[in-house]
């Protein structure tokens, strides 16, 4: 008699997969927006932004 095993782990339902995908896309967009924001602000602040005391 074979032992029950859970090699497959947790199997997501279609609804859970859709929700996870939408959350992943939102996180990716938020991170991309953050990169663009820091890039734009670096341009706004000009070369002075790189002159910092060590």
Partner 1 sequence: MSLVSEGADYRRSFSAGTGLAEPSLATVGDYFTLMKPRVMSLVVFTALVGLAVAPGSLHPVTAFTALLCIAIGAGAAGALNMWYDADVDAVMTRTSRRPVPMGRVQPGEALAFGLTLAGFSIATLGLLVNWLAAGLLAFTIFFYVAVYTVWLKRSTPQNIVIGGAAGAFPPMIGWAATTGSLTLEPVLLFLIIFFWTPPHFWALALYKTDDYARAGIPMLPVVSGDTSTRRQILVYTLILVPLGIAPWALGYTGAIYGTTAVISGIIMLILGWQVLREQRPAERASRNLFAFSVLYLFLLFTVLLVDRGWGGLIVRLAT
What does the alpha-carbon distance between residue 36 and residue 52 come to, in Å, rounded to a whole number? 22
36 touches partner 1 by CB under 8 A: no
15 touches partner 1 by CB under 8 A: yes
32 touches partner 1 by CB under 8 A: no
Q: How far is the CB of 5 from partner 1 (least distance, A)?
A: 16
* Torsions phi, psi for 7 (to 5 deg): -60, -30
Contact 23, 17 (CB under 8 A): no
Residue ranges in contact with partner 1 by CB under 8 A: 10, 12, 15-16, 19-20, 22-23, 25-26, 34, 37-38, 40-41, 44
């Amino acid at each position: 008699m074979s032992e029950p095993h859970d090699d497959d782990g947790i199997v997501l339902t279609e609804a859970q997969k859709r929700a996870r995908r939408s959350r992943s896309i939102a996180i990716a967009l938020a991170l991309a927006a953050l990169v663009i924001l820091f890039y734009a602000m670096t341009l706004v602040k000009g070369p002075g932004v790189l002159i910092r005391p060590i």
